[in-house]
Amino acid sequence: METFPTRLSVNINKIATLRNARGGDRPCPLEAASRIQRWGADGITVHPRPDARHITYADVRRLRGRVTSEFNIEGYPSADFIALVLEVQPEQVTLVPDPPDILTSNAGWDTRAHAAFLREVLGRFRTAGIRTSLFIGTDGDLIRAAADVGADRVELYTGPYAEQFPMDPEAAAAPFVAAAQVAQSSGLGVNAGHDLDLDNLAWFARHVQPLDEVSIGHAIISDALYIGLQNAVGQYREQLRPA
């Protein structure tokens, strides 16, 4: 299988949302994870939330045996979440500052205001050998502070990019181009995610470098309703092909 510099991690939360709408085990997130990897994804992402409205803690435990690529677990670092991650031992944990009742992640960490808390949590994961990433905006000072508290990577919150992209792609990408350079100079890897899709992903990946990984879920599963899941994974992966 051809490999590209930027890896695609597919978030399977929405598959679990559909399953939970009716109960039972159809569609099955475990089977979906197996197929998505077979169809070319470089990793699987899940984001269990306290209300278990999509991926549950039980799903996460069962997925560990199915994910043979990179397993990325996202979430707010509550005591229960930390314990889950340390038990499951994913390749990567991405910490997000979500309050329990939020619909979807829509802001990054203030890494200065929460420095002491993040340093302690990140240290626990580092001791366990788990790569860490912090969900963050494009503020250079906050990215530098992410390095100071011990993160391995940042995941750039790309909601603002997706919103501005239809009007002015170059202006939309500019803050992220600068942020990726700040991250690299601070010794951090760069991930990205939120509202990336078939219209805006290729532009982002070709202009924002370095870019280690993108995490995409809602858009891929939405497109899969029209073009099929295997085709959707393939088309998203193709957007990451170097120019």
The CA–CA distances, whole Å, from 102 to 53, 62, 212 equal 12, 25, 27
Within the chain, how many helices (H) and strands (E) appear? 11, 8
CB–CB of 68/83 below 8 Å? no
Count, residues in the chain: 243
Q: Is 194 a catalytic residue?
A: yes
Phi, psi for 222 (deg, rounded to 5): -65, -45
Give residue for tokens 């707010």: 76
Q: Say which of 47, 54, 155, 213 is annotated catalytic.
A: 47
The CA–CA distances, whole Å, from 59 to 56, 70, 143 equal 5, 16, 32
Q: Say which of 54, 70, 155, 194 is annotated catalytic.
A: 194
The CA–CA distances, whole Å, from 31 to 27, 120, 237 equal 8, 35, 20
Q: Say which of 70, 74, 155, 213 is annotated catalytic.
A: 74
Report the distance separating Cα 215 and Cα 159, nearest Å: 13
Label residues 151-178 b or e (16+ Cβ within 10 Å = b). bbbbbbbbbbbbebbeeebeebbbbbee
Q: What residues are annotated to the active site?
A: 47, 74, 194
